[in-house]
Amino acid sequence: MAQSLRPQALERQRLFRDMSVEELAESVGVTPRAVRHWEAGTRAVGDRAFGRLLKVLRCGAQELTGRDPGTETLADLRRDAGMSTEEAASVLRRKRGAQSLYFSAEKLRDLEHGRRVRGWTWASPETLGQVARILAQIYRVPDRVVMDAWRRSRPEDPLPVLPARRARQPSGDSMAAWSSLNDRQRTYLTCIFHQDQEVEEEQRNARLAGAEQRPAAEWRRMTLALSASSAAVGYTRIQERLRGAGVHDPGAGSSVAALERRGLIALYRDRVYVDGLGDMPRTRVEMTRRGRAVARAALGVPREAGPPAPLLSLWLWKIVVRVARAGEQGVDGSLAGRGPHYLAVGQSPDGRTPSRGFIVLRHPDGVTHGPYRWFLTDSGRRHLTDHLDAYRALYPRVNTEGIDDSSA
């Protein structure tokens, strides 16, 4: 199936990237004549070329087709990946765990269009989950994106059950980095890591309480030391941790410099005003991704797993419950925070992956003017029907009174 473009959308994106027709054609691997046909609307873009267009123009499908993020079908995910049904089926046949399913282009088309796939044991949710996991791998999207698209494409299917992921072992690189540190440097990295995790937990709790969110780039930069007497300014939280570990110096010397050289932390030196003392130098520290990985590996601290795919975090589940309980009245359109970026049709949490598409901002039914309000989408209602019991077991303190499988 070919992908339709909005009138003038491709030309607008090409000109925005300052590309000529010939340059775009060469980058995508087609003739300039084909690009002119696409821009004139006289020929549709094939599946392979569509995925290449997204990569070359560095844009989302929404910019070219008007398709809202959070409404993707299985066929949409394949096209966005730039694969024809023949190519995707060929990759699926080679994947371990899918070889016994004997994938063909015809079977993949049946899968995408909600038809019965011949030869498959559809009574097995585990088989469906294995297929969904493999599709996520070859389309290079998170599991949840495929699971949501699956339910839009095949609403009558049994619910797929994703295979459990095996726990990742600490990488050799992380353990080698830890081994290269002396005892004092390890103490510093450990104390900074524990403070980083404590601040992260504080931010998570504040978000759940509805507080205004600060950018991570701001709160992850933690004060390590002030250039003033401890009798005047006391000790920072990191210094208190260091003192508990037997380190009693100010903490801004050679050990942190060594950690910075290894790419485990980032240092920031600025000045800050302190009441009664005036303007003084300050040293702040931030864990890098590599630093966290090294500390986690060495200290045996696993990453927080979060809820199993495709379930929502507690924070997002509370939002969905609030919208669901509002029913036909909807929720005020000024829904605060970043929740809509993760949940709403037309949004994206990171500018790349689509939202869940579980809520939508629109007029109430039968109303054509006035304020917009948040309502559940069909996908949102289906998600509630699929997983309500699991959510009640996972988040028992969330009040879901008035919500049941039939009313969701």
pLDDT in tens, 239-282: 999 999 998 876 668 899 999 999 999 999 998 888 878 888 89
| Burial tier of 353 (Cβ tally within 10 Å: 0-12, 13-18, 19+) | middle
Q: What is the largest CA-CA distance in the chain?
A: 79
Q: How far is CA 131 from CA 126, 135, 162, in A?
A: 9, 6, 9
The arithmetic mean of pLDDT across residues 303-325, rounded, is 87
| Residue of 324, 301, 309, 302 whose CA lies nearest to 394 | 309
Report the pLDDT averaged over residues 49-73. 91
pLDDT at 311: 94
Q: What are the phi and psi torsion angles at 122 (to 5°)?
A: -70, -10
The pLDDT score that the predictor gives to residue 408 is 52
User: Beta-carbon neighbour count of residue 194 at 10 Å?
Assistant: 17
Q: List % helix, strand, coil for the chain (3-state, nearest 5).
A: 50, 10, 40
Q: Which two tokens stand for residue 351?
A: 């500018």
Q: Which amino acid is at 122?
A: W
Three-class DSSP category at 226: strand
Q: Residue 102: its pLDDT value, please?
A: 82
Asked whether the predicted pLDDT for residue 338 surpasses 50, the reply is yes
> If pLDDT is split at 50, 70 and 90, which confidence band does 406 have?
very low
Among 104-113, 296-305, 398-407, where is mean pLDDT lowest?
A: 398-407
Please tell me the predicted confidence (pLDDT) of residue 280.
87
Reading phi first (left if > 0) and then psi (alpha if -120 to 50, else beta), residue 331 is in beta
Helix residue spans in 44-182 (DSSP H): 47-57, 61-65, 74-80, 85-94, 105-112, 125-139, 143-153, 172-179
User: For the residues of 343-375, what is the DSSP string, one character each?
Assistant: HBTT--SSSSS-----EEEEPPTT--SS--EEE
- Residue 121: the pLDDT is 61
Query: 226 has which bridge partners?
Result: 282
What is the arithmetic mean of pLDDT over 119-145?
86
Determine the pLDDT at residue 3. 66
Average pLDDT over residues 97-116: 87
Amino acid at 239: Q
Q: Does residue 17 surpass a pLDDT of 70? A: yes
Instruction: State percent of the chain over pLDDT 70.
Output: 93
How far is residue 244 from each of residues 101, 188, 239, measured CA to CA in Å? 58, 11, 8
How confident is residue 305, by pLDDT bands cut at 50, 70 and 90? low
Please check the confidence at residue 227 and state whether its pLDDT lies above 70: yes
Rounded Cα distance, 361 and 345, in Å: 8
Tokens encoding 205? 């709790």
What are the C-alpha distances in Å from 123 to residues 106, 127, 136, 326, 345?
20, 8, 21, 35, 31
Q: How far apart are CA 405 and CA 21, in angstroms?
A: 52
The pTM for the full model equals 0.70
Q: How confident is the model at residue 103 (pLDDT cuts 50, 70, 90)?
A: confident
**Cβ(35)–Cβ(43) under 8 Å?**
no
- Per-residue pLDDT reduced to its tens digit, 153-203: 999 888 889 987 766 666 788 999 999 999 999 999 999 999 999 998 888
Average the pLDDT over 93-100 and give the result: 80
- pLDDT of 168: 63
Query: By percentage, how much of the chain surpasses pLDDT 90?
Result: 55
Please state, rounded to an integer, the average pLDDT across all residues of the chain.
88
Q: Which residue has the tokens 């992908």?
A: 3
What strands, in cross-sheet order, belong to the sheet with 222-226?
222-226, 278-287, 265-274
CA-angle at 359, arms to 357 and 364, nearest 5°: 135
Distance of CA 252 to the CA centre of its chain: 35
